[in-house]
Structure 1
Amino acid sequence: MSQKNLRCLPLAAAAMVVCMSAQAEYTIADGKLRLSGFGTVGVSRTNNDQAYFNYPGQGGGADRSASFDPDTKLGLQGTYKLTDTISATAQLLTKYRATGEYTPQVEWAFAKWQATPAATIRVGRIGAPFFMVSDFRDVGYANTTVRPPLEVYGQVPVSFTDGGDASYQATIGSATLTSTLWGGQTKAKYASALRSSGADLDPVLVKIRNQVGLNFQAEFDGGYTLRFGHSQGKLSVETASLGTLRSGLSGVLAGGLGAGPQALANQMLNDVTTTGQKATFTGLGASLDRDNIVLATEYTWRSIDKGVVADTTGWYVLGGYRLGTVLPYAVVSRLTVDDVNTSLNPQAAALGAAYRGAQGLINVGKVSQNTLSLGARWDFRRGMALKAQFDRISKPSSSNGLFLNPDASTASGQDFFNNKKKINVLSLAVDFVF
């Protein structure tokens, strides 16, 4: 199987679904090793050819042509019990990534020590716990909708951290309280419109160092859950486009055009450079799963000191009602840019193409949009669910929303960015666990 494309993944996942219908139980003889897996075969299409619908950061996606790329994935997980209190867990996940390929990646690889019945310590690569469903955001079967609402879950471009966490669980009355202190560092590739016309896709490299976070979760009798989380770290964004911009200004930076233009060029580069900037992320969440009623909501906000990554606020409200094995649901969600965090000196317009390139870097952070989603989930077989979902996404002018604008420098790309758009997305997915 080619590492370059792995284009047969959707077919492989579909074949696994067929196999699961014949055999869905697996056992390991000695009981120390536990293997499991999950996956999604999903297809989606939109009514717009100007930009791709995807999970933010993927190197392609769906437009008027139906695509398997946004949602199709396959994960395998294993846990080996070394002693009564120490175990090791690894998870390998293959999905469509920023490079425009289906690439396997180690999402989890940690050792766990159950120090006491209430205290747990994990060290290694763990799921970054930014959200209510961080540990299973890629497990479609564990989520009500086809995908977690992107207006909230699209704000953080990383899904794991290399470090560790420590959790303590206590019972007070009818409530189970869990507090978790976590930290580490991570990096991820993220596809955006940061390229010139006709150029190959150039994913941005996002790094977050010195991450530290604290989460609290309370679970109550009756299916109620409340959550609060806060984290901070040092954010850096690296892209070849910034290097191209610097190279294009090399003559100015060398002083060839005098002190005035040189000062403007230095200021402009400083404005669009994001290196070691303090970044914080905070989230509040609540959910209810009781009898036939399913409710969930999250409110999150992201703050960056300076650079091309904007301050944002995101939220969603989800409601559903089970009718036997079918769960119809509706979701309202919104993502707002609170502050773009940088602006260019109007006098720098004299630098021509370099100024326009720098403005393009800033425009990538303009991601405001809101979505109304209607869908239904049918649990037609143990460990398998069929989902259908319709999304009506509205984005304002001067925004790319969470879409991948293939090339913002073209007339089509500029039209998509500059004008209001209402885009319909149809999705169909089969989720499975084994």
Structure 2
Amino acid sequence: MSPKNLRCLPLAAAAMVVCMSAQAEYTVADGKLRLSGFGTVGVSRTNTDQALFNTPGQGGGADRSASFAPDTKLGLQGTYKLTDTISATAQLLTKYRATGEYTPQVEWAFAKWQATPSTTLRVGRIGAPFFMVSDFRDVGYANTPVRPPLDVYGQVPMNSVDGGDVSYQANFGGATLTSTLWGGQTKVKYAAALRNNGTDMDPILVKVRNQVGLNFQAEFDGGYTLRLGHMQGKLSTEASSLSALRSGLSGVLAGGLGADPQALANQLLSEINTTGQKATFTGLGASMDRDNIVLAAEYTWRTVNKGTQSNTAGWYALGGYRFGAVLPYVVVSRLRVESLNANLNPQAAVLGAAYVGAQGFVNSGKVAQNTLSAGARWDFRSGMALKAQFDHISKPAGSNGQFLIPDASTASGQDFFNNKKKVNVLSLALDFVF
């Protein structure tokens, strides 16, 4: 990872904060083009050097040395109105990626047709609507805490999907009900608790094809919101180390080493099959923002038919109270592993490095942890908020939690995985919109 790449975005975002006005967006004179942006300059540090704290999937993070990587980002968005009912929207987001660099990426690029006052169609790259705050999970200013709770939001690394959706909105008394049918495919690089020879990152390429989802959201007078969503698709994961492992096992099969090793190799190949597995994700959410009280909660569960990805369930509950421009809050959350899809035969240990490699992929799906967070948000001027947050994360023995282990094969990496650990994280963030 280049130090220049590490420093570039935080400095650019800080300069943006200094130069921008309090105006939240810019619209050209004819009203057809609207430009806006958002960003966060955030820094975090922990009380351990055994593992890196980050947004799951990033190729780096924070330890005892403070890091900008987990939260710092900069986004620009533009919408052009082609006709009274047709528009085009694009969003460019730069944040710390799986490759260990700040890289710009097109998060949104879609055309929208307001077919009727109640019906909307979008086609292109749209936000992946897995969660209650999916459309603004990267907009720190729009979220109460420094980041959406990772015990829930870390279960799915995809922020966008290439496809489309159709939404229908209806009013019933004091409620607005929106139903959305969406579908498409997506792929994203994800840095797991793996290294190539203990030195270079080996990002996993995660693909989900044939996605189909249905969401319902009800907004009530008084600041209440309810949401239910479900999706299913075909999940595939690929990495160079996984390909090398499969090649090695195929060599065992072709090497004439006897019936038992070949049978064991066949079992391992079957267990680590990560191509075209049926995957589902379901979420329930509720929030309230009324007077000075802010409440939110979500419960989600992920299932995968087979492979090294685990079946998980996560939940969080958030509560806060405004005192003028200051909003203190607490968050309690939990991520648990419901079941592991891959069950390796201990007898396969005779295969040596192949078994160890397969076990490493299985262990990367062991992510259980609990988190208690407390923080405060200060909206000190229009379009800007300063936040401070303390997270106390507990993970059980036999789990990586949501952390990135710098090298899972080292004594330090094994110690972190095999034993209970409590990690404290301190974060400061300046969020802004313009």
Same fold (TM over 0.5): yes
Hey, what's the Cα distance between the residues in 2 that align with 1:271 and 1:395?
A: 26
1:152 counterpart = 2:146: no
* 1:244-273 CA-partner distances (Å, limit 9, x unpaired): 212333431204202221121121011012
CA separation in 1, counterparts of 2:294 and 2:75? Answer: 26
Aligned pair 1:430/2:430, yes or no? yes
Distance between the aligned counterparts of 1:52 and 1:317, measured in 2? 25
In the alignment, the residues of structure 1 paired with residue 195 and residue 271 of structure 2 have an alpha-carbon distance, to the nearest angstrom, of 19
- For residue 336 of structure 1, what is the aligned residue in structure 2? 336
Equivalent pairs counted in the alignment come to: 433
CA distance in 2, matches of 1:276, 1:402: 24
Residue 8 of structure 1: SS of its match in structure 2?
helix
Distance 1:25 1:249, change over 3 A: closer
Q: Deviations over 1:183-226 (max 9, x none)?
A: 00000000012224433111000000000000000011111100
Q: Deviations over 1:310-354 (max 9, x none)?
A: 000000000000000000000000000000111111211111121
Cα deviation 1:371-400 (Å, max 9, x = unaligned): 000000000000000000000000000000
Aligned equivalent of 2:321: 321
Distance 1:244 1:367 in 2: 24
Equivalences for residues 321-400 of structure 1 within 5 A: 321-400=321-400
8 A Cα contact 1:86 1:113, kept in partner:
yes
The more displaced of 66-75 and 261-270 is: 261-270
Q: What letter corresponds to residue 60 of structure 1 in structure 2? A: G
- Structure 1 residue 243 displacement after superposition: 1.5
Structure 1, 256-265 or 419-428: larger mean CA deviation:
256-265
When residues 23 and 115 of structure 1 are mapped into structure 2, their CA distance, relative to the original with a 3 A threshold, is: closer
Q: 1:54 to 1:146 in 2, by over 3 A?
A: same
Which residue pairs with 2:237 in the alignment?
237
Structure 1 residues 271, 384: closer, same or farther in 2, change over 3 A? same
Deviation at 1:410, TM superposition (A): 0.4
**Secondary structure of the corresponding residue to residue 14 of structure 2:** helix
CA–CA distance in structure 2, aligned partners of residues 3 and 419 of structure 1: 32
Contact kept in structure 2, 1:46 and 1:63, CA below 8 Å: yes
CA contact (8 A) 1:197 1:409 kept: no
3-state secondary structure, aligned to 1:7:
helix
Shift in alpha-carbon separation, 1:290–1:390, aligned structure 2, 3 A: same
Q: Please report how far the alpha carbon of residue 6 of structure 1 lies from its aligned counterpart in structure 2 after TM superposition.
A: 6.2
| Moved segments of 4+, more than 4 Å | 21-25
**What CA distance in whole angstroms lies between the structure 2 residues aligned with 1:117 and 1:4?**
49
- For 1:5, what is the secondary structure of its paired residue? helix
Stretches of structure 1 that go unaligned for 5 or more consecutive residues are none
CA distance in structure 1 between the partners assigned to 2:407 and 2:192 by the alignment: 9
Cα distance per residue 1:9-45 (max 9 Å; x no partner): 1001001111125766634122100000000000000
* One-letter amino acid matched to 1:94: T
The 3-state SS of whatever aligns with 1:341 is coil
The residue aligned with 2:92 is 92
Identity %: 83
The answer (yes or no) to whether the contact 2:198–2:409 under 8 Å persists in 1 is no
Q: What amino acid does structure 1 have at the position aligned with 2:223?
A: G
Determine if contact 2:26/2:34 at 8 Å carries over to the other structure: no
Q: State whether residues 6 and 69 of structure 2, in contact with CA within 8 Å, keep that contact through their aligned partners in structure 1.
A: no
Q: Which runs of 5+ in 2 are unaligned?
A: none
RMSD: 1.4
